[in-house]
């Protein structure tokens, strides 16, 4: 077999690999959607919003469904981008980070709260979004060592003027913060999510959103969270399936 034939065979093989990878991705997303529907049905609640084209919540748009690993491509060139390329361990992932950014920027949110900073990955995305809208984000982490790493990442990204990192228990810190929020992100692995929803939904401005990471896992880590969100007459709640566990999105429709 000559060199030309080898190259041709190699190209064909790579083409098949790419097609198989696409099929696997599509199949995984299909399974995810089916599981989300089953979980919802098992809880006794219909998914008020899951697919593009339904009315509520308004944040569930086609753009959010199609976000992929190219999520940096049309962002402003800022010092935050190289920091986001670092290894953050079990963070929300690039595509979901960009989804948070798009939610905030498209709705013009200016006062964000990030509960469960970790190493600061979501806080960096929110910080970039706040810079775009002219707002500010508060991020809360209870562990001092983890918060120190997050602070370094925020400083390296040059976002310390728009991201205010607080080291405290969220149930002590939030009551001391005046005013409402228009965007809240919960990423505590399900811990205290239902209690946080009860505390924060009255503090959410009309049109604002509470977003919880790993929506499918909430069935096991915070079984009461989604039922409580769906029962709340002032919230419209839906699940956006993603490969990192999905986002539960609740949009405030009226003042409590």
Q: What is the mean pLDDT of the chain?
A: 80
Q: How confident is the model at residue 56 (pLDDT cuts 50, 70, 90)?
A: very low
Residue 91 near residue 122, CB atoms below 8 Å: yes
pLDDT in tens, 117-155: 999 999 999 999 999 999 999 999 999 999 999 999 999
| pLDDT score, position 160 | 96
Instruction: With beta carbons less than 8 A apart as the criterion, state whether 253 and 234 touch.
Output: yes
Name all domains of the chain by residue range, CATH numbers in brackets.
45-252 (3.40.50.150)
Nearest to 205 by CA among 116, 109, 90: 109
Give the percent of the chain with pLDDT over 70.
Answer: 72
Q: What is the pLDDT of residue 93?
A: 82
Give the DSSP H or E segment for 167. strand 163-167
Whole-model pTM: value is: 0.76
Helices 94-107 & 121-133 angle (0-180, nearest 10): 30
- The residue ranking higher by pLDDT, 136 or 247, is 136
How far apart (Å, rounded) are the C-alpha atoms in residues 43 and 8?
53
pLDDT grade, residue 69 (50/70/90)?
very low
More confident call, 95 vs 139? 139
199-229 burial code (b ≥16 CB/10 A, e <16): ebbebbbebbbbbbbbbbebbeebeebbebb
Residue ranges of the alpha helices (H) in the chain?
A: 3-42, 62-65, 80-84, 94-107, 121-133, 144-156, 170-173, 193-200, 218-221, 225-231
179 pLDDT band, cuts 50/70/90, is: very high
pLDDT of residue 244: 76
pLDDT mean over 76-85: 92
Q: How many residues would you count in the chain? A: 256
């Amino acid at each position: 077999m000559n060199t030309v034939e080898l190259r041709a065979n190699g190209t064909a093989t790579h083409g098949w690999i790419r097609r198989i990878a696409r099929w696997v991705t599509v199949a995984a997303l299909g399974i995810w959607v089916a599981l989300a529907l089953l979980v919802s049905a098992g809880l006794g609640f219909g998914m008020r919003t899951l697919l593009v084209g339904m009315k509520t919540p308004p944040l569930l748009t086609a753009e959010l469904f199609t976000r992929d690993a190219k999520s940096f491509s049309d962002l402003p060139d800022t010092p935050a981008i190289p920091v986001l390329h670092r290894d953050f361990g079990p963070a929300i992932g690039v595509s979901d980070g960009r989804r948070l950014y798009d939610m905030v920027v498209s709705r013009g949110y200016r006062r964000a709260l990030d509960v469960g900073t970790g190493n600061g990955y979501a806080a960096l995305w929110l910080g970039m979004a706040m810079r775009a809208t002219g707002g500010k984000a508060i991020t809360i982490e209870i562990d001092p060592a983890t918060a120190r790493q997050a602070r370094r990442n925020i400083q390296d990204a040059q976002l310390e003027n728009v991201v205010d990192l607080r080291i405290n228990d969220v149930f002590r810190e939030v009551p001391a913060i005046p005013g409402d929020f228009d965007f809240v992100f919960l990423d505590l692995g399900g811990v205290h999510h239902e209690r946080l929803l009860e505390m924060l939904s009255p503090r959410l401005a009309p049109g604002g959103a509470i977003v919880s990471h790993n929506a499918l896992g909430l069935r096991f880590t915070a079984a009461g969270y989604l039922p409580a969100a769906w029962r709340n007459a002032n919230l419209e709640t839906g699940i956006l399936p993603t490969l990192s566990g999905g986002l539960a999105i609740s949009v405030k429709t009226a003042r409590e």
